[in-house]
Chains A and B, each alone.
Chain A
Amino acid sequence: MKRIVTAILSTVTVVVLLFGYHTSTSGALATSSDTSVVSELPRPSSGATTDSGTGAGTSASSGTTTFDGSTAATRWGPVQVQITVAGGTITDVSVIQYPSGNPRDEEINGYALPILIDETKQSQSADIDMVSGATVTSQGYLQSLQSALDEANL
């Protein structure tokens, strides 16, 4: 996959390879070199409140906010992840856009999953700083999830 992606991007890598931005409220950050900004992660759905309705049981006194990860184009189609945050806690992770025509669509779209499933059952309420997974290119779920985490910037 990386091969395919890079092949597509190879003609523009020199110009495009490097762009940086702050994901905090300070907004876009110009990098020192003469590179172009290609795209930015979407801003959080500002103040959007949703009723997660998952009955997670946490006291969502301060309301909930959703953060959309960037839409990632994969060989199978676009993927986008959304996290729901309430009181500094992720209460829901859902795939809001998944490649169409995939037989697992319905199954996956129907999921409303907690983000943390600890095999050791010892850190169920632990904070998550980063996600480690099989190498992704600038595409894919992990990117989308990571970008949503980055965007939440709690």
Chain B
Amino acid sequence: MSAAVAPGAQRFVAHAMGMPISLALRGAHAEDSAGVRAWEDVLAQVVEVDRMFSTYRADSFVSRLGRGEVTIDGCPPEVAEVLDLGERAAERSDGAFSVWRDDRTGARRLDTDGIVKGWAIERAAAALRRLPDTDFCLSAGGDMVCHTALPAGQAWVVGIEDPLDAARLVATVRVRRGAVATSGSAHRGDHVVDARTGRPPTGVASVTVVADRLTWADIDATSSFARGPEAAAWLEQRPGRVGLVVWKDGSTTTIGRL
């Protein structure tokens, strides 16, 4: 069995927010300066967002907000937008998702990382959407926005990594206009915890969600993963979601039309 890499896509790679950002471009502006400018625009926006939201920068708005040194009104409007998303995510996940966490000392800490990545890439992708007659697939650390200029254009094919064996894929999904996000513990260990218990989820190895927008694909993948044994059941009841849950025993559950 073998697979081919799709022909014709121009590729760009950079590192920002501590993760690889990959872009595949096809069509009218895949190889011209307008395409390159759009890519640079994407990266500039990602860097800007990182400055606002990085929990690893003491001077980011989020860090200062977490320490109570600044109010939301004193932050750029994007900060309020992300915090609002965080509240909606907490509601929809019955508290499994939270932008607040307790650090090692037990102090409450603001951490918007679970929201910012998807939201930032979705937002930055606007620069690519403006390119006429051009298809793109923009990925940040394995979560991506896909777009085809024509509604029935050539679909992007996304391989879903096997969380139990990084040398394999467990499935592929074709996406024209939409987003794919995966949450799991394969590369970073137990970095996701159920905010209700403060503990890493059990039973589930990864959750992939396909949705129309990356912001919610990403949030839902994380929320679902955090629920552990309830991951698939929770995702089932999210309207319009398509997804794949891989369990730690290697079995899988598909949700929707995957």
Contact = CB atoms under 8 A, between A and B. Distances in A.
Nearest to A88: B4
A143 B143 CA distance: 12
B142 interface: yes
A138 B17 CA distance: 9
B50 interface: yes
Contact of A20 (B1, B7, B39, B169): B39
A120 B156 CA distance: 17
A57 B239 CA distance: 43
B182 A18 contact: no
Contacts of A10: 56-57
A22 B12 contact: yes
Contacts of A31: 40, 43
B18 A2 contact: yes
A119 interface: yes
Contacts of B117: 135
B187 A134 contact: yes
B107 interface: no
B180 to A, nearest CB: 5
Interface string B239-256: 000001000000010100
A118 B170 CA distance: 6
B47 interface: yes
B230 interface: no
Interface in B147-200: 156-163, 166-172, 174, 180-189, 191
A18 B14 contact: yes
Contact of A134 (B157, B158, B183): B183
A34 interface: no
A69 to B, nearest CB: 11
A23 B14 CA distance: 10
B20 A132 contact: no
A136 B19 CA distance: 6
A72 B98 CA distance: 31
Interface residues of B, number: 72
A9 interface: yes
A130 B7 contact: no
B108 interface: no
Q: How large is the interface on A (under 10, 10 to 19, 20 to 34, 35 or more residues)?
A: 35 or more
B2 A130 contact: no
Interface in A110-139: 111, 113-120, 123-139
B13 interface: yes
Given A132-B158, A134-B161, A134-B184, A33 B20 contact: no
Contacts of B182: 132-135
A111 to B, nearest CB: 5
A17 B258 CA distance: 35
Nearest to A41: B13
B187 A133 contact: yes
A88 B5 contact: yes
Interface string B1-35: 11111110111111111111010100000000000
Contact of A130 (B15, B24, B184): B24
Given A6-B56, A133-B163, A137-B18, A116 B50 contact: no
A32 interface: yes
Interface in A1-40: 1-3, 5-7, 9-10, 13, 17-24, 29, 31-33, 38
10 contacts: A1-B188, A118-B171, A123-B174, A130-B158, A131-B158, A135-B19, A136-B19, A140-B166, A140-B187, A154-B4
